[in-house]
Amino acid sequence: MNNAVYYVLVIVAGYFCGCIESGYLVGKLCGMDIRDYGSGNSGTTNVLRVLGKTRALLTFLGDALKSFIPVLVVKFLLCPAVPTLNADLIQLVTGFAAVMGHDYPVFLKFKGGKGIATTAAAMMAFDWRIGLCCFIIFVVVTAATRYVSLASILLSAGIVVEVLIFHPGRWDLFAMCVLYAFFAIYRHRANIGRLLSGTESKIGQKVEVKK
Q: Are 134 and 159 in contact (CB under 8 A)?
A: yes
Q: Tens-digit pLDDT profile for the chain (211 aa)?
A: 799 999 999 999 999 999 999 999 999 999 998 888 887 888 888 898 888 889 999 999 999 999 999 999 999 999 999 999 999 999 999 999 999 999 999 999 898 889 999 999 999 999 999 999 999 999 999 999 999 999 999 999 999 999 999 999 999 999 999 999 999 999 999 999 999 999 998 886 655 554 4
**Among 104, 134, 85, 87, CA closest to 41:** 104
Dist CA 138 CA 147 (whole Å): 10
174-192 exposure pattern, b = at least 16 Cβ within 10 A, e = fewer: bebbebbbebbbebbeebe
**Among 181, 33, 20, 11, CA closest to 93:** 11
**Among 74, 69, 131, 66, CA closest to 100:** 66
pTM: 0.92
Dist CA 84 CA 136 (whole Å): 34
**Among 59, 70, 61, 73, CA closest to 24:** 59
Domain locations along the chain: 3-197
